[in-house]
Amino acid sequence: MATRKRMSPLAEQILEALEERGYRTTEPRRAVAQVVANQDRHFTAEELRQMLPGLGRATVFRSLKLLVDVGVLCRVLLEDGALHYQMSLRGHHHHLLCVECGISQDLTGCDIEDVLTQTSDRHGFELSGHWLEVYGRCRDCRSKEAVSA
Amino acid sequence: MATRKRMSPLAEQILEALEERGYRTTEPRRAVAQVVANQDRHFTAEELRQMLPGLGRATVFRSLKLLVDVGVLCRVLLEDGALHYQMSLRGHHHHLLCVECGISQDLTGCDIEDVLTQTSDRHGFELSGHWLEVYGRCRDCRSKEAVSA
DNA sequence: GTGGTAACAGATACTTGGGCTCAATAAGGA
DNA sequence: TCCTTATTGAGCCCAAGTATCTGTTACCAC
Ligand SMILES: [Mn+2]
Ligand SMILES: [Mn+2]
Ligand SMILES: [Zn+2]
Ligand SMILES: [Zn+2]
């Protein structure tokens, strides 16, 4: 029996989220959970794969899909069209993405729902969902420029 | 000299848009403009490629990128993540996408700009852009269901 | 604990949607 | 017409997955 490494509480939570849905706790999933829990930024599938060189490629992609499905990860669409993944608060939310440093901040309150409902109504549409990403410059990047200016 | 086919006014417009930016009018670009001008729905890169079997693959992708850059085409993100292209009104706009029949309707007035500015301000972000797709069911699909119900 | 079974992992091959390079060609201004 | 430069297309490469199949493992029942 291999000595089981101690996992971070966040990693444990991720595995619990899977267990709740009936998924088994396996060694590869433990490894994925541990790595994902340590990320403080969004990352690509390829980056995750490089952080887990021991895992099969298919397993990495399967895990990504699984974690998006159970709500542990969310997809983040960058302005250039690249798709990244990020630890997620559960539920519907959007992102403020800094085009300079790349940091992403979650927008939990979805303030645009009302506007969207009105607009949809005007066009005879029955609203069922939406996808929104917001791009700009974060506080840090702005203040850095202010100093150097 | 090959007999030059008469082009639709819309196709001519597309070529003019390219000329204005200093791009040359070539036979492949004429072909692309003609096909693109005839689409009344969004289409994938692959579909465009099949409509232009004589063109090199790279040329098709280059043309797509070019036409997006000059504002002739816009990218449309379907709910399943697939990327489509569509003739575009110039300038910033969004789409109402019917999840049933797939039709896309342009939203020209961007009503969410104000809300987004406020939200960004609250987070210290300087807003520079956003990406929004709205999903639902169109008037036609709704009324069809109402009849059969 | 053991055993059985369904879930899972990994290897491998395939697909989709592009991008890069480079030699050959063609557009369009002089 | 000539020259320069943009453009094309072949062929290769890459990212991001998916499908299939075989061997392994988690977990539950005993
Ligand atoms: Mn998120
Ligand atoms: Mn559009
Ligand atoms: Zn920033
Ligand atoms: Zn519809």
Specify the range with the lowest mean pLDDT, choosing from A1-15, A102-116, B52-66.
Answer: A1-15
Residue of B nearest to A139 (CA): B124
Read off the pLDDT of residues A136-146 as tens digits, 9 standing for 90 and up: 999 999 998 77
Read off the pLDDT of residues A79-108 as tens digits, 9 standing for 90 and up: 989 999 999 867 789 999 999 999 999 988
Residue A3 pLDDT exceeds 70: no
Residue A112 pLDDT exceeds 80: yes
CB < 8 Å from B in window 106-125 of A? 107, 109, 111-112, 115-116, 118-120, 123-125
Mean of pLDDT values over A59-81: 95
Read off the pLDDT of residues A118-135 as tens digits, 9 standing for 90 and up: 999 999 999 999 999 999
Tell me the residues surrounding ligand 1 (ion) with CB < 5 Å: A 74, 88
Read off the pLDDT of residues A27-56 as tens digits, 9 standing for 90 and up: 999 999 999 999 999 999 999 999 999 999
In the structure encoding, which two tokens stand for residue B122, read together?
Answer: 């609250």
Q: How confident is the model at residue A149 (pLDDT cuts 50, 70, 90)?
A: low
Taking the C-alpha atoms of residue A81 and residue B83, their distance in angstroms, rounded to an integer, is 10
- Give B70's contacts (C-beta < 8 A, 6+ positions apart): B17, B18, B21, B23
Residues of B in contact with A109 (CB under 8 A): 119
Q: Is the CB of A1 under 7 A from strand D?
A: no
Provide, in whole angstroms, the distance separating residue A10's CA from nucleotide D30's C1'. Answer: 35
Residues of A in contact with B142 (CB under 8 A): 124, 126
Instruction: Give chain B's domains with CATH numbers.
Output: 1-89 (1.10.10.10), 91-149 (3.30.1490.190)
Provide, in whole angstroms, the distance separating residue A34's CA from nucleotide C6's C1'. Answer: 26
User: Residues in chain B with pLDDT < 50?
Assistant: 1-3
pLDDT of residue A5: 64
Residues of A in contact with B74 (CB under 8 A): none
Residue B100 is given by DSSP the state T
pTM of the model: 0.89
Strand A94-98 versus strand B73-77 pairing type: unpaired
